[in-house]
Amino acid sequence: MDPPQHTVYRHLIDPYFTRERVEAFEPECRWIAGDLLEALRHAPSFEAMASLAEPYAVRIQCGFLGWPTSLHEPLLQWVRKNREATLARDTDAMAAIALEFDGHIRSQLERREGAGRAAPDDITTSLVRQTIDGKRLEHGEIVSILRNWTVGELGTIAACVGIIVHFLAETPEIQTRLRLDRSDLSPAIEEILRLHGPLISNRRTALRPVVIGGRRIEAGERMTVIWTSANRDARAFEAADRYCPERDQEPNLLYGAGIHFCPGAALARMQLRVMIDELLSRIGPFSLLTGTEPLRAVYPASGYASVFLQIDR
């Protein structure tokens, strides 16, 4: 979506990600992270994606949107089915899975419309009552907004948690440093995700002729923007392949750039900081489980399909 339509919808959704909203939601994120970690703290080992990263992403997204806990398991299963269909390039399955997800959203919209003034005071209800030029949003518009938020949140936050946990498991000296001084946690997370981003690429269509890197691209040509490559560009980052949380993160394209900069960046940063803070507080030093190898996610996904950890007691 491009201006002017993009501008209208961006003005509509930006107020849902203000600093005040993010700060108000932090205690719930911290409770969810703590609840998941308490179930793992006495285990000798666990698989981080299925036990921690994925359920955290689903539960915080449902909490943020005001969706019931009864949707946790269906959404977890939906994420896994969607991933399998995407990898298999099964277009029929992908279409059916998309309809299934839309059904979950529409049921939440209909429930709020039916409740009238008794509807819960949450973001989903607010979207149901939202107007543009005095006209309420249609179901299709709300479904599109919530689909973009939720699909991005579920996959990206889960991938980020897995990437960060794997990095810390492989670098005990950095893990120890962060345990001793949490003031470095936010820049550490940004730098870890610069080195191993949760989103590999996006497709784009040129709207006008342009020359990039000496290559002329004509209007209408399609291309793939490789974010992970840009974030290791030696022209933007000195010693680009080295972990250096003190570096200037301004060129970091983790959350995009320009008018398409991720509106939920502050929310995502808080959610990741809270999870890793709680992890370091509640779980002792951890490392990769002896005899196992992390299983990487398959393109177009990034991160890991599984990461087995052991708690070093």
What pTM was estimated for this model as a whole? Answer: 0.94
Q: Given this model, what pLDDT does residue 64 score?
A: 96
pLDDT(2) > 80: no
Residue 246: which of 237, 234, 255, 256 has the closest Cα? 237
User: In angstroms, how far is the first alpha carbon of the chain from the final one?
Assistant: 51
Token pair recorded at residue 290:
């002896």
What integer pLDDT is reported at residue 3 of this predicted model? 78
Which pLDDT belongs to residue 1? 67
179: pLDDT strictly greater than 80: yes
Cβ pair 285, 312 in contact under 8 A: yes
The domains located in the chain, with CATH, are 5-197+248-311 (1.10.630.10)
| pLDDT recorded at residue 305 | 95
**Alpha-carbon distance 159 to 76, whole Å?**
14
Strands (E), the chain: 45-47, 131-132, 135-136, 201-205, 210-212, 215-217, 222-226, 286-288, 295-296, 304-306, 308-311
Mean pLDDT, the chain, rounded, equals 93
Mean pLDDT calculated for residue range 174-193: 97
Q: What is the structure's pLDDT at 4?
A: 79
**Which residue from 180, 149, 135, 175 is spatially nearest to 16, judged by alpha carbons?**
149
- Give the tens place of pLDDT for each residue, 197-240: 999 998 999 999 999 889 999 999 999 989 999 999 999 999 99
State the amino acid at position 54 in one-letter form: E
Please determine, for residue 152, whether its predicted confidence score (pLDDT) is greater than 80: no
Quote the tokens at residue 265.
């960046």
3-state secondary structure of 84: helix
Beta strand segments in 129-230, E:
131-132, 135-136, 201-205, 210-212, 215-217, 222-226
Mean pLDDT of all residues in 62-67: 96
Q: What is the pLDDT of residue 212?
A: 87
Q: What is the mean pLDDT of residues 94-103?
A: 91
